[in-house]
Amino acid sequence: MEEQTFLGTGWTFPPHFQQGVYQVSLCRDEQNVAQSLRILFETRLGERVLTPKFGSRLRSMVFTPTNAGFEMRLQEMIEDAILENEPRITVEEVEVVQSPEEPGRVNITVHYTIPESNNRYNFVYPFYLIEGTELPNYVRS
């Protein structure tokens, strides 16, 4: 019998099979929470037919100019998505920082606590404002 975990067990993302066992690879506990956050940020609201409130509005910000209110709007979107969809964690802080090394990249860091274990974690999600940044390398003049 498999050990029960209080944070849950789910498929790894992207799904893959364990070699030689022919079963889907599973993740559990803190890894399951981190993968859930990644899936939450990468899913558009309404994309899932049976759970239309699952997801975030991050993709609506892809071509948004980075003015004074940009980081605040992004932070609110993240906090709302987590509050609505991830009851296993308590968000302590969401940081939105534009990458000085990579123009068009924003690092979103979520500092959170898992109340059941009282442990603190960080989740960093790289968000790209301009998709297809490698495109100019393929364009001939």
Question: pLDDT tens for residues 6-52?
Answer: 667 777 777 778 788 788 878 778 888 999 999 999 999 999 999 99
Per-domain residue ranges of the chain: 9-138
pLDDT value of position 140: 46
The CATH number assigned to the domain with range 9-138 reads 3.10.450.40
Average pLDDT value for residue range 101-126: 92
Query: How does DSSP assign 75-129, residue by residue?
Result: HHHHHHHHHHH-TT-EEEEEEEEE-SSSTTEEEEEEEEEETTTTEEEEEEEEEES
- List pLDDT tens digits, range 60-94: 998 888 877 899 999 999 999 999 999 999 999 99
Contacts of 141 (CB under 8 A, 6+ apart): none
Tell me the C-alpha distance between 64 and 128, whole Å.
Answer: 11
Give the bridge partners for 95, in sequence order. 109
Query: Which band of pLDDT confidence, cut at 50, 70 and 90, is reported for residue 131?
Result: low
